[in-house]
Each structure stands twice: as structure tokens, then as C-alpha cells.
Amino acid sequence: MADDYVVQETKSPSWQLPAIVILALLALGGLAFGWSNSNKVDETKQAVADQMKTFQGSVQQDMTGLKDRLVVAEKANSDLQGDLKVVTDKLKITQGQLKKARAEAAESNTQTAEMVKTLDTSVHSELATKASSDDVKTVDTRVSKVSTDLDKTNSDLNMARSELGTLIARNHDEIDVLRRQGERDYTEFTITGKNQPQKVGNVTVVLKGVNEKRNRSNFVYTVEDKSYEAKNANINAPLFFYLSGTHQPEELVINKVGKNTISGYLSVPKAGVQPATAAAASTKSGS
């Protein structure tokens, strides 16, 4: 009897093959991802290494610069210490000289004070013993000389009076002197340029021309709507005019002549003030 062999075929499930393929693909993908990440890590390491090298170079350069600066600073510090020592030594000498000078000054002041005291005592003693008639005569002589000088000054002032008895100022200082007397008001002016009317107090003045060499000028002055022309007017020569209802004149005086310019003043009597000349005349008549 022949042996009968039964061959039994075992079939694997149908899902195994796709699973194996998928696993293989996943493995390949994992390998590819790992290889890619490995390359990126290498690149990152290289970039970090380059940055570290650059940073190290920069730090090394900065350290070199700091070392150079430190050497310079140490040298400057050494020089300053040397200069400080020299200044300190000189200062000690100066302080000693200063103390000596102060001591000498104090001694000199003491001696000066004593000399002044002695001189003061001597002067007072001499004044007390020499107050004789000769000294009195000397003082009288000096007083007489001062009186003579005052008389001369009065004579000079009298020479500067106008025909109406008013004093004529020749400059700013003399105008101030007359102004302090309080009898009249004085308005100083300077007119520059021809045919340009300028108001001076209650008068309008218009310059027409000048003669610098002869100190003369031509101008027109208007008072109360009346115009008057002054031709070849000399300096320090007053022009008198009366306002309506007044008995004391106003004076217009030119003190200085320049190139197309004249300077002077207007003198106006103060209300209720009697001129010194009139007062003196009434005093004489009364006596």
C-alpha cells in the first residue's frame, strides 16, 4: 500500500506584505531624516565654530588694545606721580616763603603804624607850637589869592554875557552850569542835513548852509508861525526873540558848526523867576 502524503499549503495573510513594505519605507524615511538632521547638525557646529573663532579673535584684539591702554595709563600715572612730587616739594617751599612774607609784612605794618603814630604826634605838636602870627599871615595871603581867583572867574563870566545881560554858554559844561542856576530851561540840539526841519522846544529850525572855515551858518527858525532867517550867523552869538505876552526873551545859540550840521541850545526863561541881572539892578536902585 502506497503511502499517501498529504501536502498542506499554508498561506500567509494578505496584509503582511503591505505592512512589510510600509515598514521598509518608514525605515528608509527615518534613515533619510536622520542623515538630513546629521548634516544640519554638522553645519550648525561649523557655524558655531566659525562664530567662536571670530569672537575669540575680537576678544583677543580687545585684550591687546586694553593692554596697550594699560601700559599708556601706567606711564601717565607714573608721570603724574613724578609731577605731583615736584609740585609738592615746590609747595612746601612756597608755604615756607609765604609764612616768612606774612611775618615780614606783619612786622612792617607794626613799624609803619608806629611811624604814623609818631608822625601824627609830631605834626600835632608842631601845629600847636607854630600857630604864630606868621602862619596866620600866610593863611590870609592864601585866602586873598583865592578871592582874587574868584574875582577873575566872575570877570570871565561877565565877559560871556550878552547885551541883554544873560550868560552865553559856549559848550555843554557851561550849559550845565547855567542850568544849575535855575533861572532858565536849556534844550540842547544837533541838526544834521540841509532843509530838514527839526523841532527844538517851541522853535522849528531848518539848516540852509554852513561855512566851516569861518564858523558861520545859515538857517531859518520859526516861532509862533513866523519865520526868521539867520544869515552868516556866528557861533556863540545869541539870537533873541519874544513870545506873545512875554517880557523876557528866549535865546537861540549855535555853539558848533560842522559839515552840514550845527549844534547849540535854546534858552527859555522859567515862569515867575526873576533874572539875576534884573534882581541886582533892583537891589542897587533900592539902596
Pull the grid cell for residue 156.
570871565
Same domain as 136, residue 124: no
Pull the grid cell for residue 62.
580687545
Same domain as 268, residue 227: yes
Rounded distance, CA 133 to CA 139, Å? 10
**179 lies in some domain:** yes
Lowest average pLDDT, out of 55-64, 73-82, 263-272, 278-287, goes to 278-287
Same domain as 209, residue 142: no
> Which phi-psi region, left, alpha or beta, contains residue 227 (left: φ > 0; alpha: ψ -120 to 50)?
beta
Lowest average pLDDT, out of 41-55, 64-78, 130-144, 225-239, goes to 130-144
- Does 234 score more than 90 pLDDT? yes
Grid look-up 547855567 returns 178
Same domain as 139, residue 114: no
**284 lies in some domain:** no
**14 lies in some domain:** no
Domain end among 131, 151, 182: 131
Pull the grid cell for residue 39.
548634516
Contacts of 244 (CB under 8 A, 6+ apart): 224
Mean pLDDT of all residues in 222-241: 92
Mean pLDDT of all residues in 112-140: 63
Look at residue 272 in the predicted model and tell me its pLDDT: 63
Same domain as 147, residue 91: no
**189 lies in some domain:** yes
Give the chain's domain count: 3
Same domain as 115, residue 30: yes
Domain that residue 44 falls in: 19-131
**252 lies in some domain:** yes
Same domain as 24, residue 123: yes
Rounded distance, CA 10 to CA 132, Å? 174
- Does 142 score more than 80 pLDDT? no
Same domain as 142, residue 108: no
Q: How many helices (H) and strands (E) does the chain have?
A: 4, 8
Q: How confident is the model at residue 231 (pLDDT cuts 50, 70, 90)?
A: very high
Sign of the CA dihedral with 156 first, then 162, 165, and 169 last: negative
**9 lies in some domain:** no
Strands 198-200 and 203-211: antiparallel
Say how many C-beta atoms besides its own lie within 10 A of residue 167's C-beta: 20
235-287: per-residue pLDDT in tens?
999 999 999 988 889 999 999 999 999 999 999 998 766 655 544 444 444 44
DSSP bridge partners of 251: 240, 267
Q: How confident is the model at residue 203 (pLDDT cuts 50, 70, 90)?
A: very high
Same domain as 59, residue 144: no
Q: How confident is the model at residue 147 (pLDDT cuts 50, 70, 90)?
A: low
Q: Give the max Cα distance, the chain.
A: 208
**25 lies in some domain:** yes
Same domain as 216, residue 157: no
Strands 198-200 and 184-192: unpaired
Rounded distance, CA 130 to CA 60, Å? 99
Say how many C-beta atoms besides its own lie within 10 A of residue 269's C-beta: 19
- Does 195 score more than 90 pLDDT? yes
Same domain as 55, residue 119: yes
Look at residue 1 in the predicted model and tell me its pLDDT: 47
Same domain as 192, residue 120: no
**103 lies in some domain:** yes
